[in-house]
Amino acid sequence: MNKYELQAVLSKFSDRPDDIDLSKGEIIIQVQDQLITFKTQQRQGQIHIIEDDVSMVAEQWITKRLAKLSLLAHRIIDYVEDIDSFVAPSGKLVAQLEDNPKDEEVDVDDAAKKVLSLLDARSGIDTFVLYLTSDAGEGKTTIINTQARIQAQKYLDGKTDWLLLPIPLGGMSFLRLDHVVVGTIANKYRFRGLYFESFIELVKLGVLVPAFDGFEEMFVEGASGEAVSSLSNLIRNLGSTGGVLVAARKAYFEIRNFETQGRLLDGLPDDADVSFARLKINRWEGRQFKAYWESRGLEHAEDVYNNLRMNLGDESHPLLTRAVLVKKLAEIAKDQDRFDTLIRKIDGSSVTYFADLIDSIIEREIEKKWVNRAEESVRTPLITLSQHHHLLAQIAMEMAHESAGVIKKESLEVVAEMYCDSEKMPTDIRRQVLARIGDHPLIIKPEKSSNFFSFDHDEFREFFLGEALGWQILDGDEVELRFLLRNMPLTKTVVSSYRNILKEVSVNYEEIFHKLEKISLEESSATYAHENCGRLMFRAVQDGGISGVTMSKITLPLNVFSDAVFNDVSFSECYFSSGFIDEGELVNCSFDNCRFESIDMAENVIIKNTILNSCEVFSYVMDGCDTPLFSPKGIGKKLQERGFIIKGDERDDNNGNISCDDDKILLLTRGLRAFSRSTGVNDNIFLRRLGTQGHQFIDEILPEAEKVGLLELVEFKGRGHHKRYRLNVPMSTVQKFLKSSEGSYETFLESIRNLK
């Protein structure tokens, strides 16, 4: 660290950065409520800080004296939840591009330990972004919290020089990232020694690694771009230094579409060096289930697991493999009769296991705690099981109105009181409901010192929100229904819960279909209404066996067709974003003037007598290959092979003279995909990544790509003699020109050349 770098760092901590002058020998800076006086001295090429006759290397003085990281380590231990029954899951690692050019997955036995080892092995010459991915309820937050506590203790013991700092993003509307970071440090950890600028400096120094928990699915199509741009800005501020952990359901580079990837990469500065890796958490296996069971002090883990597996008929059933559900199952198991009743209700074919699990949790509370104690000799349920569901649904609705996963204590009590009023409950019952709502088994305080409450897990909140949606569409207020459909994307759990509500009653699915169709056509395209209505209309067709209807002007990901059967359904002027179809059937269907961002489907999808009339399909992903086709005629040929009938354009040419994508553009696309894993790529990476075609890429593609300005040479960092390339055109522009090239390599190069 030279004096200019030191002065820049000091200015980020100081209340009056303009007053810092290192040329005066003695420096005085004010940091919040204290004045710090010190001198600087250079020894053996390093700047030392001398304060009260104690000398330290500048970097060490910054972390210990200015940043007070030892105090922050104590606060992490004090305020991050201690998980007594933690069981480490296994995982699959896609390491950094330099170590893994072919994007191969490597099995990891202990995903929790691997997180720390990967972050500890940062190269120091680029910004390292590690994605920790899994579906909801499979352990991302638990891993982050347990490893943060472990790392904090190691820091206090002098065994490491950096901290892992959990920053939860879930449960709140997405604010500016700097506000979230500073607010978390001050409110969650009771640590007021950092501004956002000084936080960034500590990340750049490598002594602090933020773990952003709750990005969820922000990188997929249709999601808000706020979080993506905020992460881009953070990486930009780091200037090719430091490391970041991002917990999400999917790593952005796993999306095949360059345009989606460009939402993050295009926001980075041209000189940023960033590398990405992904550690995917596996669902639990038998050994983790048994270890957790025993850690909770429950007996006969082996017998319980085997009996459950036989009863459920599948060792991969969510009740055996998802950590959040096993946790709840273990809580119910403390009451053997209740546990046995639940298992008898659930079998391998049950689609309502989640609702059955929730009912068992609530029923246990109804019998044990939520009883009317107005008279000592009489113990009756305070409210019924159905009333519990409706009350919790109202709380989930209020959170939706606040666009947050948390609710203030005052608001929680108001919702409970309003529900009691609507049910005309007696005063003594109302008083007891208000007193106990904060202690409901499905409601928790995420932070002990805060005034906020949340559901025990986001999936429980989404479950009750889905129930609220179901009741609203059956006989509720249309204003509330439109609000739910307009203001947030409906998750898989919300839709599943909504469908269960409809299945419990005799419902006319055609009426629901047309009610949703009316809302979709009347709502603005700037809201989520088109996507949400379309998703629910899909389910109405599927669940009601509706045929002979038309869906118009809806926007959806292609994967809505997965596991669904459609017969005699028409789609008009619809837009389908990228997605993967697994299983399902399309029989006697038609698509008129529809646009498909990409068609990617498994071999098990059945296509019979289904027409694509005057449709645009921008790309087709070939089976078993991650390289899409862009040639219209090539795409048409593949779609015909899959069973589609192509009408309305030149793709119905069946003479066999089909002009498919150039081999060169397929090779170019494969090579460019490396830039989604690292902003700079060495030529030897292309050789290792592309196998037998690597030399052709080096000898033919690279020189032409460099000549037209698609790629540029940058300074090589590392051993040996290699050339290093950086993408010189925004990723979104690459995707745009790949579409317009229609599979022609020369056309694509000409489009890039014309950018100059």
In a domain, 242, yes or no: yes
- Let me know if residue 152 belongs to a domain: yes
* Reported confidence tier of residue 611, pLDDT bands at 50, 70, 90: very high
Same domain, 235 and 272: yes
Beta bridge partners of 168: 213
Please give the pLDDT value at position 229. 67
> Does the pLDDT value for residue 348 go beyond 60?
no
For position 223, what pLDDT does the model report?
A: 41
Q: Are residues 95 and 200 in the same domain?
A: yes
- pLDDT confidence of residue 592: 96
pLDDT at residue 655 in the model: 41
Residue 220 pLDDT > 70, yes or no? Answer: no
Task: Tell me the two tokens of residue 380.
Answer: 């009756």
pLDDT band at 262 (very low <50, low <70, confident <90, very high): confident
Residues 650 and 690 in one domain: no
Question: Residue 626 pLDDT > 80, yes or no?
Answer: no
Examine residue 306 and state whether it is found in any structural domain, yes or no.
yes
Query: What does the alpha-carbon distance between residue 141 and residue 446 come to, in Å, rounded to a whole number?
Result: 12
pLDDT grade for 582, boundaries at 50, 70 and 90: confident
Q: Is the pTM of this model over 0.75?
A: yes
CATH number of domain containing 696: 1.10.10
Whole-number pLDDT of residue 222? 38
Query: Of 660, 682, 714, which residue constitutes the final position of a domain?
Result: 660
Check residue 288 and give its pLDDT.
Answer: 95
For residues 25 and 31, give the distance between their C-alpha atoms in angstroms, rounded to a whole number.
Answer: 19
CATH number of the domain enclosing 626? 2.160.20
Mean of the pLDDT values across residues 639-647? Answer: 91
**Structural domain contains residue 644:** yes
Return d(Cα 462, Cα 454) in angstroms, integer: 12
| CATH code where residue 235 lies | 3.40.50
Q: 């629901």: which residue's tokens?
A: 512
pLDDT of res. 555: 84
Question: How many domains in the chain?
Answer: 5
Task: Say yes or no to pLDDT of 526 above 60.
Answer: yes
571 and 601 fall within a common domain: yes
- 610-613 vs 628-629, strand pairing mode: unpaired
Distance of CA 310 to the CA centre of its chain: 33
Give the mean pLDDT of the chain.
86
Distances, alpha carbon 159 to alpha carbons 51, 78, 111, 113, 638, in Å: 25, 19, 21, 15, 58
Cα dihedral across residues 715, 721, 726, 728: positive or negative = positive
DSSP 46-97: EEEEEETTEEEEHHHHIIIIIS-HHHHHHHHHHHSPP-TT-----EEEE--T
Instruction: Specify whether 557 is located in the same domain as 667.
Output: no
- The CA distance from 634 to 659, in Å, is 6
> What is the identity of the amino acid at 195?
Y
Question: In this structure, is residue 463 part of a structural domain?
Answer: no
Residues 423 and 336 in one domain: no
User: pLDDT tens across 648-702, in order?
Assistant: 764 444 443 444 667 898 899 889 989 988 989 999 999 998 888 899 999 999 9
Do 224 and 112 lie in one domain? The reply is yes
In a domain, 411, yes or no: yes
pLDDT at 723: 87
Q: Are 601 and 683 in a shared domain?
A: no
Does a structural domain hold residue 17? Answer: no
Residues 175 and 162 in one domain: yes
pLDDT in tens, 392-439: 999 999 999 887 888 999 999 999 999 999 999 999 899 999 999 998
Q: Predicted confidence band at 349 (pLDDT cuts at 50, 70, 90)?
A: low
> Do 640 and 669 share a domain, yes or no?
no
What distance lies between CA 95 and its chain's CA centroid?
19
Asked if 673 and 655 sit in the same domain, the reply is: no
Place of tokens 């209340």: 15
Over residues 50-61, the pLDDT tens digits come to: 888 888 888 888
At 532, the pLDDT band (50, 70, 90 cuts) reads: very high
Give which of 313, 228, 244, 236 is closest to 268, Cα–Cα. Answer: 236
Largest Cα span, the chain: 89
Strand, helix or coil at 378? Answer: coil
Coil, helix or strand at residue 143: helix
Q: Please indicate, yes or no, whether residues 328 and 403 belong to a single structural domain of this protein.
A: no
Is residue 508 assigned to a domain? no
Q: Cα-flanking dihedrals φ and ψ of residue 92, to 5°?
A: -130, 125
Radius of gyration of the chain (CA): 29
Domain finish residue from 255, 281, 307: 281
| DSSP symbols for 692-719 | GGHHHIIIIIHHHHHHHTSEEEE---SS
Which residue segment(s) compose the domain that 166 sits in?
67-281
CB atoms within 10 A of CB 328: 22
- Where residue 388 falls among pLDDT bands split at 50, 70, 90? very high
Q: Which of 660, 694, 715 is the last residue of a domain?
A: 660
